[in-house]
Structure 1
Amino acid sequence: MKNTIKLKATMLSLFLAISGFAQKSMNIENSPNFRSLSGIENKEGKKIKDGIIYRSGNFSKLTESDITRFDEMNITTIVDFRSDSEIQKDPDFIPVSQKIETKRAMIGSINDKEMGGFMKVLMSPKFSETALDSLMISTSNGFTNHIKDFKPFFDEISKKESVVLFHCTAGKDRTGLASALFLHILDVSDEEIMKDYLRSNEAIAKTDLSKYKAYGIPEERMAKLMEVKAPYLEASWNNIIKKYGSIDAMLATEFGITEKVKKEIKKKYLVK
């Protein structure tokens, strides 16, 4: 029983905490999926400005060099998508030199029942990647079923004067969806949105999975758990469209992001 509880806790921590390397990494050693969205180009050939918006995973344990880099970003607002329990386990490390406002946008995490489903699939003698994908798609749809909870994030990006960092624990699922919606507002192509979403997969090659052998889970299965795949984001996208008719309709209905507001957001974030 103790081993089962320990495994469950370990798996939950791993599922939530895996981070990746991605486009324009900020070289934060202890938060490798910490990156800027600057340089991403939209359909009109305009690019996201430098030093204005960042995405990341957990950054609770910054090194001295990490702190120096963090200071240089001049972040004004952090939007945290994590649950209370996630924050309690790994609170944001905000350097004392920084006066940063934190906004909560609790999107939720994997509950005990859902984690049990993941464990069952991962430890099954008849492992099925298809079954794992189904669980991940269900999780992705869960985020869109509570899309209103993202409102603090969209409120912040709409402000004229702000440098925003948004994150969850992994920096790939909740943060990945928020980033995709943000890029859609900027009229970035679906192809480029997907490229940004999938870049978190570069973390897999940088992650030591050997310690999980002790729990009877092969490394290749753990690697599959860590991946983000196109169908995960596509499922979220389609779920939104099914409910609202379009992504734009959802943005206008839930967050007040009309075409007029979009123009203001583009003006803030884009440069020729």
Structure 2
Amino acid sequence: MTPIPITSVPNLRDVGGVRTTDGAKVRSGVYYRSTDLSRVVDSDVAILANLGIRTVYDLRTASEREAAPDKLPDGARVVALDVLADKGMRSVPAQMLRVIADPTIAERELGGGRAIEYFEGSYRDFVLMPSAVSSYRELFAGIASNSDTPALVHCTTGKDRTGWATASLLLLLGVSEEDVFHDYLLTNEFLLPALEGVFENFVKAGGDRALLEPVLGVRKQYLEVSLATMRERYGTIENYFSDGLGLDSRVQALLRERMVAD
């Protein structure tokens, strides 16, 4: 789980290197996760290009993509997968930047514990909502194909939609739940410092910093909701992939073959 030092793409990291519970290792240089690529500066282009990314899986809504289009690495193709399509404008993750731009709107939409409720609902949706199911199905089917990797997976801040994608994949590969949570919570270490200006502007405009913390960061309880929902509906991560996403044991084996080194 190696961070890539690109200041204009915070929260960019290679999920490889972590051990599975049977002693194997997740391959490096196959699966990267990050924020969106709309703010890549010229000085970072070469570093990003050196990763050799062939496919960028963009999990954002159409409106997010239109507002902040990716600056793709040379040779990479984009696959747009709108995880939250079925939720539309009601999704806080999809409308996060608009909401937090105005402390009055933020307080109305997120105050009184509503931020945590919204995110817990979204993490439940990641497992069950049809648009999420179809998006994650295409994502993992693509990664199982040698032609689609190295791959970069992102949403806007690379923490929620991307967080569940990465967590569920690592669990399927045999990574311990402890290490999965470790990778998930690294977002607070890598992303929040890059967003300090957002916090400062919000406070200057009269907002309460504490209101943004559960919005711009991640919390263990968010991912716990996805895991609980997955287990309640499907029992195991393997059944989630087969019965939930329609990716049978053959595709799961291809994912492990592609992503795990003995």
Alignment TM-score, normalising by the size of structure 1 = 0.81
Structure 2 unaligned blocks of 5 or more: none
* Structure 1 counterpart of 2:161, from 162, 167, 174: 174
Distance (whole Å) between structure 2 residues aligned to residue 89 and residue 131 of structure 1: 26
Distance (whole Å) between structure 2 residues aligned to residue 263 and residue 112 of structure 1: 37
* Structure 1 counterpart of 2:118, from 118, 127, 135: 135
CA 1:187–1:177 in structure 2 vs 1: closer, same or farther (change >3 Å)? same
Query: Is 1:261 matched with 2:239?
Result: no
Q: Counterparts in 2 of 1:14-93, with a 5 A limit?
A: 23-93=1-71
Query: Is 1:205 matched with 2:193?
Result: yes
Distance (whole Å) between structure 2 residues aligned to residue 120 and residue 143 of structure 1: 28
Taking only aligned residues, the RMSD between alpha carbons, in angstroms, comes to 2.6
Distance (whole Å) between structure 1 residues aligned to residue 25 and residue 255 of structure 2: 13
In the TM superposition, residue 120 of structure 1 has moved relative to its aligned partner by: 7.5
In the TM superposition, residue 132 of structure 1 has moved relative to its aligned partner by: 3.0
CA 1:133–1:71 in structure 2 vs 1: closer, same or farther (change >3 Å)? same
> Which residue pairs with 1:123 in the alignment?
107
Amino acid at match of 2:258: K
Distance (whole Å) between structure 1 residues aligned to residue 254 and residue 135 of structure 2: 23
Distance (whole Å) between structure 2 residues aligned to residue 84 and residue 201 of structure 1: 26
In the TM superposition, residue 60 of structure 1 has moved relative to its aligned partner by: 0.9
CA 1:120–1:42 in structure 2 vs 1: closer, same or farther (change >3 Å)? farther
Structure 1 unaligned blocks of 5 or more: 1-22
CA contact (8 A) 2:137 2:247 kept: no
Distance (whole Å) between structure 1 residues aligned to residue 165 and residue 28 of structure 2: 19
Distance (whole Å) between structure 2 residues aligned to residue 105 and residue 211 of structure 1: 31
Q: Which has the larger radius of gyration?
A: 1
CA 1:111–1:39 in structure 2 vs 1: closer, same or farther (change >3 Å)? same
Give me the identity figure in percent.
24
CA contact (8 A) 2:137 2:246 kept: no
Deviations 1:165-224 (A, max 9, x none): 111111000000000111012111111111111110112234221111244212232223
In the TM superposition, residue 50 of structure 1 has moved relative to its aligned partner by: 2.2
Amino acid at match of 1:82: R
Query: Is 1:100 matched with 2:100?
Result: no
CA contact (8 A) 1:154 1:255 kept: no
CA 1:50–1:113 in structure 2 vs 1: closer, same or farther (change >3 Å)? closer
Number of positions where the alignment pairs a residue of Structure 1 with one of Structure 2:
246
CA 1:136–1:268 in structure 2 vs 1: closer, same or farther (change >3 Å)? same
* Structure 2 counterpart of 1:244, from 214, 217, 234: 234
Query: Is 1:148 matched with 2:131?
Result: no
Query: Is 1:229 matched with 2:219?
Result: yes
Distance (whole Å) between structure 2 residues aligned to residue 111 and residue 222 of structure 1: 22
In the TM superposition, residue 262 of structure 1 has moved relative to its aligned partner by: 2.8
In the TM superposition, residue 159 of structure 1 has moved relative to its aligned partner by: 0.7
Distance (whole Å) between structure 1 residues aligned to residue 128 and residue 255 of structure 2: 25
